[in-house]
Amino acid sequence: MIALLFTEFTKAARRTRTLIITVMLVGLPTLILFAIHARADRPADNPNGEGLFRLASQSGLLVPAPVLSVMSGFLLVVIAGTIAADSVAGDAAWGNLRYLLLRPVPRGRLLVAKAVVAGVLIWACTVLVSAAALVGGLLLFGAHPVTFPGVARFAGGFHLDEGALLLRNAVATAYVAFGYTALLALGTLFSTLTDTATSAIGATVGVYVVSQILDGIGQLGQIRYAFPTHYLSAWRAMFVENRYPTDMLVGLAVQVAYLIVFGAAAIVWFQRKDIRS
Amino acid sequence: MVNESIVAVEGLWKQFGEVNAVEDLSFSVERGQVCGLLGPNGAGKTTTLRVLMGLERPSRGSAHLFGERVVPSSRLLVRVGAMVEQAAFVPHLSGHTNLRLWWEAGGTSMKDADVDGALAIAGLGDALHRKVRTYSQGMKQRLGFARLLLGRPELLVLDEPTNGLDPGEIREIRELILRLAQQGATVLLSSHHLSEVEQTCSEVIVMNRGRLVAAGTVSQLIGSAGSVYVEVDDRERARSVLAGLAGVHAVATQGDGLVVDLDNGRRSDLAAAIVGAGLRLETIMPTQQLEDAFLHLLEGPADGAGPAAEAKTPPQP
């Protein structure tokens, strides 16, 4: 299994696409950082969004939060969806999948290895965003404690020292990365359903976009709690409301449920599939 | 255990919706044989090979390798070197890295592979360290051969291995297959290039529309479908000898020799009769090549009861 993981990782890591993603995931936080710097003197009017941007100029340790907030909703979704959905379909499109199975590599083991490598890359992408924002933030704003102003809806203001900020950044990054687990499972399943990588990627990202749209329709009620995107932003309460919300735990449980259901479906389907590519 | 056959297909059906890609197919390949799987495009050759390699599941019937039933990713495949359709690789990696990663994906070290032998066959030189996306089709096919030989396979399963190659490369591949067969490998070679099969294979299985049409040695198929040209020292005496021989339909003069139309007679019987009559046999050869026999077979009913002598009739499912 270790050898298989290594070969799959080598294949993924040496792609030009991986280099482009890396550049993008370092470049975009840098751009956002400069935007934060440029808007540092403007007043906050929305504590859930713009406020985090404005406060970020107080300390480089707070910069990863708004950057993650901006990038986790779409760009990281697209990247994670691409990585997951391309895992099997990419090899199939090259015609290389059948030769791996002729080696022979057991189908279940191959799928798990591909999903693990895709998962590691998704985590790496999320950590890279956070790390780029943190390093850039520290260089531009330094490391200081942050005082969050009171907001009418919530309790009064609060103060986070450097250690607390670092810890919450780490938790937020891990939560965002784990929040793509359902995407990973869905993408892997779609990847086994087609030999065309672009179709699998389109379907995976499409499901997430639809989920985000439907999640915004309040009339759907509690059904929205089961959407894979519903709890993606739960981590922001750590910075806005000074608490670790239970929604984060529920969000993790939802992701695990998607992993079990769609991961199992992917394995069962792939084991039975006729390999014609 | 089914029997001692290296490859055995029994009552195999493969359906895609309403279409029967393979229909009640049975055949076997024995150890050491170089067997051609012949058929026009759409005959079901590639589907048959995919089922044999565990890439597709049979709708009915079974496929066996080395006496054991094939299942997806069967460990039996470590004893097989297969090229199903074109050789394909990870395009952004070098030829050498492709070989290494493919081999190591199986959980074994490159130290266990026949790297030197495989690389000698690839004959790619420095190009081995170039990205595969820069390779010509011929280079990919050669790299494909190197890959399938890494594990010193006992059985080679080759699906149209010379597709996209130039005449020189085709000849190289043909000589390679024969060399491997001489070294003891069993070969199952699918092709619609009749001359390739004729020059490479000792046995032939003919498929059409998913069904077995005929199976036997190349000479059986050629002989079964037509006539033989004979040259002897006394043509008229030979004519009378052969005309009275069982299995001979007609004898006619052609040039310096005779053309003997066979119903079900064998060339060896003709030769024995001529020699037995005290005549000197100068030449005996089929008047047609495999191509003629192949086309003749395809014109017949595709129900396994074609005109081929000793054609194997598949058992009913």
ipTM over 0.95: no
| Contact (Cβ atoms closer than 8 angstroms) between residue A130 and residue A173 | yes
| pLDDT digit string, tens, across residues A178-221 | 999 999 999 999 999 998 999 999 999 999 999 999 988 888 88
pLDDT for B18-47, tens place per residue?
Answer: 888 899 999 999 998 899 998 888 888 999
Nearest CA in chain A to B55: A275
Ranges A245-254, B224-233, B285-294: which has the least confidence:
B285-294
Residue B13 CB: number of other CB atoms within 10 A? 17
Q: Would you call B101 an interface residue with chain A, using a CB distance cutoff of 8 Å?
A: yes
Domain ranges of chain A: 2-272
- pLDDT exceeds cutoff 90 at B3: no
DSSP β-bridge partners for residue B273: none
Taking CA–CA distances from A2, the nearest residue in chain B reads: B107
Chain B residues with CB under 8 Å of A99 CB are: 88-89, 102, 147
The lowest-confidence range among A200-204, B99-103, B201-205, B286-290 is: B286-290
Please give the structure tokens belonging to residue A276. 């014609």
Q: Can you tell me which residue has the tokens 């808007």?
A: A39
**Rounded Cα–Cα distance for residues B245 and A42 (Å):** 110
Q: The tokens of B287 are what?
A: 């008047």
With CB atoms and an 8 Å threshold, state whether A96 touches B88: yes
Contact predicate A52/A62, CB 8 Å: yes
- The answer to whether A7 contacts B101, with C-beta atoms less than 8 Å apart, is yes
Rounded Cα distance between B212 and B156, Å, is 21
- CA–CA distance, B114 with B109 (Å, rounded to integer): 11
> Does A98 touch chain B if contact means CB atoms closer than 8 Å?
yes
Q: Taking the mean position of all CA atoms in its chain, how far away is CA A5?
A: 21
- Under 8 Å between Cβ of B239 and B287: no
The partner residues of B206 in beta bridges, in order of sequence, read: B38, B214
Question: Is B160 near chain A, with CB under 8 Å?
Answer: no
Contact at CB, B73 and A94, closer than 8 angstroms: no
Q: From CA A75, how far away is CA B142, in angstroms rounded? A: 42
The DSSP code for B10 is E
Mean pLDDT of B139-145: 89
Buried b (16+ CB within 10 A) or exposed e, A53-92: bbbbbbbbbbbbbbbbbbbbeebbbebbbbbbbbbbbbbb
Q: Is B63 on the interface with A (CB under 8 A)?
A: no
Q: For residue B310, what pLDDT is reported?
A: 38
Q: How far is CA B186 from CA B115, B182, B203, B217, B314, in A?
A: 21, 9, 11, 15, 22
The span from the CA of B191 to the CA of A89, in Å, is: 28
Percentage, residues of chain B above pLDDT 90: 27
Helix (H, G, I), strand (E, B) or coil at B36: strand
* C-alpha atoms less than 13 angstroms from C-alpha of A76 in its C-beta half-sphere: 31
Mutate to test the interface with B, among A17, A86, A102, A276 (most CBs of B within 10 A): A102
- Kindly give, in sequence order, each residue whose CB lies less than 8 Å from that of residue A51, ignoring residues fewer than 6 positions away: A44, A45, A149, A240
Of the candidates B166, B300, B171, the one whose C-alpha atom is nearest the C-alpha of residue B224 is B300
Instruction: Tell me, yes or no, if the pTM score tops 0.90.
Output: no
| Interface check A20 vs B, CB under 8 A | no
pLDDT, tens digit, 9 for 90 and up, residues A65-113? 999 999 998 899 999 999 999 999 999 999 899 999 998 899 999 999 9
C-alpha–C-alpha distance, residues A262 and A275, integer Å: 20
